[in-house]
Structure 1
């Protein structure tokens, strides 16, 4: 399928790159289909674009939590496991949404990581009430 986005331009997205968020994302509940994109030719990208296929103007910059020195440990409830169709914990991967301000600091939403089942390509945003960790920030790029 071909998408046209004001953020990434015109891109061909193969069906196996589509990630379904059954409940959408908080504040973007109508956006349920996304593609995870990265720059062409980048063998080990640090930043990715999570592009909505439902609303082309919606896109999020995401990265893995280890870029910030984060190591998450939390439990998914039965409903979340069902939504993800998760049968093997090794299939779960985490991403965090990041943004960059005009003066260039990078901010990560560490309280609401994205959990994606890589086997079924289903995801959800896990809202965490409390983080029991120390955060060490590392530079991106």
Structure 2
């Protein structure tokens, strides 16, 4: 499948590389199919792009929590586990959506959304955005 991304140009996306978000993402409910693009050459930069296939103008920078030295734990509801078809925890990956800060030099240039991680069953290629309404998850910094 070919998509024309305003940000990345013409992309060939294999059907077996699609990740389905059955409910879309909050604010982007019409975007249900995405592909995960790796950024950087050679060694992984630790940052990827979640590119919408339904609306090619939509793309999110994402990273795994450990890229920030975070150990991140939260629970899924039974409905979320069923939707993700979780049978092995090893198949589940967690990503944080990143955004650039437009603030001055005194602020961190990139921020991660800890309250709405992406949870993806890599084996089944299905995902959700887990909106955490209140702080009840554990986030700890790992020693370098």
TM-score, normalization: structure 2? 0.87
Aligned residues: CA RMSD: 1.8
Give how far 1:119 is off.
0.5
CA displacement at 1:46 relative to structure 2: 1.2
Give the corresponding residue for 1:117: 121
Number of matched pairs:
137
- The alpha-carbon deviation at position 35 of structure 1 amounts to 0.5
In structure 2, the gaps of 5 or more residues are none
Question: CA separation in 2, counterparts of 1:36 and 1:50?
Answer: 5
Q: 1:107 aligned to 2:111?
A: yes
**Cα offset for 1:99?**
1.1
SS at match of 1:90: helix
Cα distance in 1 for residues equivalent to 2:57 and 2:13: 16
Where do 5+ consecutive residues of structure 1 fail to align?
none
Residues in 1 aligned to 2:26 and 2:49: alpha-carbon distance in whole angstroms: 18
Q: Which has the higher strand share?
A: 2
Aligned equivalent of 1:36: 36
How far did residue 132 of structure 1 move? 3.9
TM-score (norm 1): 0.89
